[in-house]
Structure 1
Amino acid sequence: MRGGQYMKSYSKKLHFHLPSRRGLVNITQDVQDAVGESGIKEGMVLVNAMNITASVFINDDESGLHQDYEKWLEGLAPEKPYSQYRHNGYEDNADAHLKRTVMGRETVVAVTEGRLDFGTWEQIFYYEFDGKRDKRVLVKIIGE
């Protein structure tokens, strides 16, 4: 508590159903919209992928970089052959679990004067590694 005010919190879930196995979505405006809806002017926002085969991270929104992610991740954990992974049996998504581990689960951004407080070129991304089904991202804002 500061100046007689109490901390507030606000939660919103973003929903995704990508048509392909892998895909990258810039969700910066969705997160900023949630900050605006919250009424919170000073605080922090947590953006969390709520599925073990998806990531949320911050980086530059540049198509060449996005292609580099795809090539690099596929080199680290190739999707096929499925038989190379012990996890694959009932499922065929072991590579998706590994890619998520590398790209991360969540990000935290400061909220200043009701806006996401970024460095130059920073944007928030949702990266799906095992799509074609419903997924969620939690946006949790805490502040005053």
Structure 2
Amino acid sequence: MPTQTAPLLHQQILTVQTQGKTLHDITRQVEQVVADSGIVTGLCVVFVCHTSASLIIQENADPDVLRDLNHFFAKLVPEDGRSYIHSAEGPDDMPAHIRSAITKTSENIPISNGRLVLGTWQGLYLWEHRQRSHRRQIVIHNSGLGRT
């Protein structure tokens, strides 16, 4: 059996074209980056380079969970156009910044046996908080030990 002793760093930028305000499952894309890295045991850091989108780990089995999250955030952070001072980029911009601030811009996921360690029903999502589509940049940074 090969030993895991070679320290490795691997970084890749993933570009995701969103389709407006929704959750985009990026699990398989990130898993492919991890597989390509050669890292067997380590840590995968995923970071979105934007202030109006975020990352979450959430259930991937029942799409009602994602719909309920969107519905909850719509009530929590309304896009009424009257509640915010910052409105230069439209009525959905400041609510998008707030949604991003109360969720996360990064996730840390362990790597074991060359794969992301996610629970059975967990997936990694890019959450677009703006109404229109955007090209979002996601940095995936893997570090750990590879096979020698």
TM-score, length-normalised on structure 2?
A: 0.87
Within 5 A, what are the aligned runs for 1:79-118? 79=79, 81-88=80-87, 90-92=88-90, 93-118=93-118
Q: Please identify which structure carries the higher strand content.
A: 2
Q: Distance in 2 between matches of 1:45 and 1:109?
A: 5
Q: Do the aligned partners of residues 6 and 77 (structure 1) sit closer, same or farther apart at CA in structure 2, a change above 3 Å counting?
A: same
Alignment-derived partner of residue 45 in structure 1: 44
CA distance in 2, matches of 1:117, 1:135: 24
Structure 1 residue runs without a partner (length 5+): none
Please identify runs of 4+ aligned residues in structure 1 that moved more than 4 A: none
Report the equivalent of 2:11: 11
The 1-side partners of 2:144 and 2:111 are apart by 8
Identity percentage of aligned residues: 22
Partner-residue secondary structure (3-state), 1:118: coil
Task: Summarize the alignment of residues 26-41 of structure 1 with structure 2, pairs less than 5 Å apart.
Answer: 26-41=25-40
2 CA distance for matches of 1:5 and 1:117? 20
1:6 is displaced (CA, Å) by: 4.7
Q: CA deviation at 1:120?
A: 2.7
Cα separation, 2, equivalents of 1:103 and 1:69:
11
Measured after TM superposition, the shift of residue 71 of structure 1 is 0.8
* TM-score, normalised by the number of residues in structure 1: 0.89
Hey, what's the Cα distance between the residues in 1 that align with 2:17 and 2:120? 30
Instruction: Tell me what 2:141 maps to.
Output: 140
Q: In angstroms, what is the RMSD of aligned CA positions?
A: 1.7
Change in Cα spacing, 1:98 to 1:4, as seen in structure 2 (3 Å) is: closer
SS of corresponding position for 2:85: coil
Q: SS of 2:10's equivalent?
A: strand
Q: Is the 8 A contact 2:18 2:24 kept in 1?
A: no
Q: For the residues of structure 2 that align with 1:49 and 1:137, how far apart are their CA atoms?
A: 4
Mapped partners of 2:134, 2:48: distance in 1: 14
Residue 110 (structure 2) pairs with residue 122 (structure 1): no
